[in-house]
A and B are shown apart, each in its own frame.
Chain A
Amino acid sequence: KNEVEQSPQNLTAQEGEFITINCSYSVGISALHWLQQHPGGGIVSLFMLSSGKKKHGRLIATINIQEKHSSLHITASHPRDSAVYICAVRSYAGGTSYGKLTFGQGTILTVHP
């Protein structure tokens, strides 16, 4: 059974701080997604990665396939970054994978001014 675990569950920061959210998973994967869920419930895809590192603006995502671990970093955090950040993986099961994602429980980030 593929489990996806995130840490921390809750994170409070002051504006401008560097933030790291971690994700660990238990089986082989073909890709890992980082998603952002807004207070109203909508989900936005931030990154999809299968190796190395990706950067978009103040967001950086890294993945270590051997260690089954990924991190999402936010530099110079801002109150508008406050949201739930979710890690989700697409398993690689004998070559049969149609895009099903398995989700972590999410990390609730609050950035104070």
Chain B
Amino acid sequence: EPEVTQTPSHQVTQMGQEVILRCVPISNHLYFYWYRQILGQKVEFLVSFYNNEISEKSEIFDDQFSVERPDGSNFTLKIRSTKLEDSAMYFCASGRMFTDTQYFGPGTRLTVL
């Protein structure tokens, strides 16, 4: 069964460094999402992406964040200058249509020191 994959599973970085989190959505899906979950808190929406552009983003998704679909398979989240408060589990999700079920990847745990 097709699944969403994410790499790395755990990323440790120093404050101020740039990180890129990678996701491979399910191949025939057209809508892509990033969510994050700070330890002990709710899952929060960051951004949705369709047709090579951002379709919706949250207040969290400020200028430090960017997303890209550099080729036909990868979907990336870049944080330009990480802060301590960026430490969280980041989930990628994809769906065929925005009205459909979203399939989540296993997550990348980002630790900012």
Contacts and interface: CB of A to CB of B under 8 A. Distances in A.
Interface stretch (A12-20, A56-64, A66-74, A103-111): A103-111
Contacts of B37: 41
Given A41-B89, A41-B109, A99 B104 contact: no
Interface residues on B, range: 20 to 34
B44 A42 contact: no
Interface in A84-112: 86, 88, 90, 97-106
A44 interface: yes
A100 B44 contact: no
A41 B106 contact: yes
A31 B91 CA distance: 20
Prevailing SS type, chain B contact patch? strand
Given A103-B44, A106-B42, A42 B106 contact: yes
Interface stretch (B16-24, B62-70, B95-103): B95-103
Contact of B98 (A33, A44, A88, A99): A99
Contacts of B103: 45
Interface in B31-84: 31, 33, 35, 37, 41-45, 48, 50, 55-56, 58
Prevailing SS type, chain A contact patch? strand
Contacts of A104: 42
B35 to A, nearest CB: 8
Nearest to A104: B42
Nearest to B48: A98
B25 interface: no
A101 B33 CA distance: 10
Interface string A23-50: 0000000110101000011111100100
13 contacts: A41-B106, A41-B109, A42-B107, A43-B91, A44-B104, A45-B102, A48-B100, A98-B31, A98-B50, A99-B48, A100-B48, A101-B102, A102-B45
Interface of B: 31, 33, 35, 37, 41-45, 48, 50, 55-56, 58, 89, 91, 95, 98-104, 106-107, 109
